[in-house]
Amino acid sequence: MVKMIPINQPVLGDEERKAVLKVLESGLLSDKSGEGAFVKMFEEEFRKYIGVKYAVALNSGTAALHASLMALGIGRGDEVILPSFTFCATAETVLLVGGKPVMVDIDPKTFCIDPNEIRKSITPKTKAIIPVHLFGMPVNVDEISEIAERHCLHVIGDAAQAHGAQYKSKKVGCFFDVECFSFYPTKNITTGEGGMVTTNNEEIFEKIRMIRSHGEEKPYRHVMIGHNYRLPEVSAAIGWVQTRKIDEFLKKRRHNAERLIEILENQEKIEVPEVPENVTHSWHLFTLKAKRKSERNKLTELLNKRGIGTGKYYENPLHTLKFYAERSKIISSLNNTVEAAERVFQVPVHPLVDDIDLIGKEIISGLKSM
């Protein structure tokens, strides 16, 4: 049986094990306010790494998005502009607060939301934008910030895939009203399940802290609607250690990604990623684009048979799914989104990939056989 190289894989070691054991030995697995010792350590470590004033740990990236929308007062009937080419949580959380997702097209090179499409979609009901730093590629921060300022809109950065990515030498997570991270096992760092909101706004920070624990301002004093979005101490302990290792992980990802681009850049049947000069990609997912859907599907099937895990993110864009289409406003035909969904695929570049040349050779071999 061929051993599979997964598309992504957590990197865990003795440091994480020791931190978890310390929590178990303490007997303090969680804190009623969500502010246990390791949660605080994790928040501080991550806050310093990103370069922001505040960070709030929650139990998922979805919780981070939902709590952020609540803290910003997004509610019934409010329109929120976002890409269709994303994981469902981006739009799902808008629906959870009673808002309406407004789905727009992407830039065909970066796969991130197109600022020009945002401009076309603004109405008197528009209250916020959720740009997604997709696959580890930062969005066009300057243009989106200018649009938001001009129209008095909130911006919630979906940074679930962008740990360590940079825009003009500043880390993703410090640019907008809030930015939301996920620590699911496939992400660049993990807590098992978990999320984080980063912000420079003290009022938003305090609201999200209360939302995290049932809207509680002080013990048994509940002043707003909230949820149980607390991150357990075991998860926080893993996250604290992982944050201290993130630069090491990113170095390996970038080495693998740059080497794979070097191997594949002259192949006529696929397009390699293009990274703008003013950004640093974090390579959560290494994304290639085939000439057509049929070739993409044949190549990924062949690679899987040869032990190389592949992904097809996001082959069903949200606007093509009946549930979301019925509850959203769809702006134009989203041609770039449809094309990307049919043609892109991902291959592994995570830190546990030791032989990136093998992956490159198998891709070239597969292309030649088609």
Nearest Cα residue to 134 out of 157, 104, 103, 100: 157
Averages of pLDDT over runs of 10 residues in the chain (370 residues) are 88 98 95 91 98 98 98 97 98 98 98 98 98 98 98 98 98 98 98 98 98 93 95 98 98 98 96 96 98 97 97 98 97 94 98 97 94
* CB distance 282 to 162 below 8 Å: yes
Name the token pair of 12.
Answer: 């865990």
pTM, rounded to two decimals: 0.96
Give the single-character DSSP code of 192: S
What is the per-residue pLDDT for 186? 96
CATH 3.40.640.10 spans which residues of the chain? 14-242
* CB distance 354 to 257 below 8 Å: no
Would you call 53 a catalytic residue per the annotation?
no
What is the CATH code of the structural domain delimited by 246-368?
3.90.1150.10
Q: What is residue 21's three-state secondary structure? A: helix
What is the per-residue pLDDT for 1? 61
Active-site choice (171, 187, 207, 289): 187
Residue 63 φ then ψ, to 5°: -60, -40
Residue-wise over 70-86: b if at least 16 C-beta within 10 A, else e? Answer: bbbebeeebbbbbbbbb
Q: What is residue 41's three-state secondary structure? A: helix
Burial of 279 (0-12, 13-18, 19+ CB in 10 A): buried
Return the ∠ at Cα 30 (arms to 28 and 33), rounded to 5°.
125
* Counts for the chain of helices (H) and strands (E), in that order: 12, 16
Q: Which fold has domain 14-242?
A: Aspartate Aminotransferase; domain 2 (3.40.640)
Burial of 95 (0-12, 13-18, 19+ CB in 10 A): middle
Quickly tell me which residue has 């808008």 as its tokens: 94
Which residues are 270's β-sheet partners? 290
Q: Return the half-sphere exposure (C-beta side, CA atoms, 13 A cut-off) of residue 9.
A: 18
What value does the CA radius of gyration of the chain take, rounded to a whole number of Å? 20
Amino acid found at 54: Y
What is the per-residue pLDDT for 2? 67
What is the per-residue pLDDT for 32? 82
CATH 3.90.1150.10 spans which residues of the chain? 246-368
Residue-wise over 27-60: b if at least 16 C-beta within 10 A, else e? Answer: eeebbebbbbbbbebbbebbbebbebebbbbbbb
What is the per-residue pLDDT for 189? 98
| DSSP of 309-367 | --B-TTSS-GGGSHHHHHHSEE-S--HHHHHHHHHEEEE--STT---HHHHHHHHHHHH
